[in-house]
Amino acid sequence: MKGKTILVVLVAVLATAASTYVATRAITGTASDGHAVSVSAEAGPGEIQTKVNEIALLVEDIEESSGEEAVTSDDRDPMVTYKAAPKPKPAPTQTARKVPRWPSYSVTAILMGDDDPRAFLTLGSQNITIRVGDEITGGRVTAIEPDGVTIVGEAGTKKYPF
C-alpha cells in the first residue's frame, strides 16, 4: 500500500510541476531550445497540447520504471521511536592462554662483590635489593652481571639492562 501511495504522490507532483512549467513558458514566451513560444492566447494550434503530451510520456516512463514496490514492509515507520536491533554476541572462542607480562623493573645500581653480587631494582615507587637466587615478582634472579640483571619466570627469560 505504501508503494502505491508514493506513486500517486509522485504523479501528482510531476503533474503540478509540468503544468507550472508549461504555464511559465507560455507566460514568458521562451522555450528551452532558444526559440520563442507565443503567449497562450496567440499560441498556434496544438503547441501547448504537444508539450502536455511530452510530459505525459515522461510520467508514463517514470511509472513503468517504478513498477516494483519501492517501499517494503520491513521499512521503519517514521512515527515510531527507533530502537536499534541488539548486536549479536560473538560466539565463545577457546580461551587463549594468558601470556604473563614482565614487571617494569629498573636497575638502579649493581654491586659486584667477590662471591655475592647484589643489585638494586625499582618497581614503581618500591626499591628492592636482590641477590642471585632470590624470588621476586616475575620469577627468580639467575644472574647479576655488570651490564644488567637476568630473571627467569613463567614468561621466559628477561635481562633488565643497567
pLDDT tens-digit series, residues 8-57 = 888 888 889 888 888 887 777 655 554 554 555 556 667 777 888 888 88
- Domain membership flag for residue 82: no
Residue 13's domain spans which residues? Answer: 2-65
- Counting the structural domains of the chain, the total is 2
Please state the pTM of the whole predicted model: 0.40
CA-wise closest residue to 39 among 30, 49, 20, 19: 30
Burial of 64 (0-12, 13-18, 19+ CB in 10 A): exposed
- Domain membership flag for residue 79: no
CA atoms of 127 and 159, how far apart (whole Å): 18
Burial of 83 (0-12, 13-18, 19+ CB in 10 A): exposed
Positive or negative, the CA dihedral 89, 90, 95, 99 is negative
User: What pLDDT shows up at residue 159?
Assistant: 93
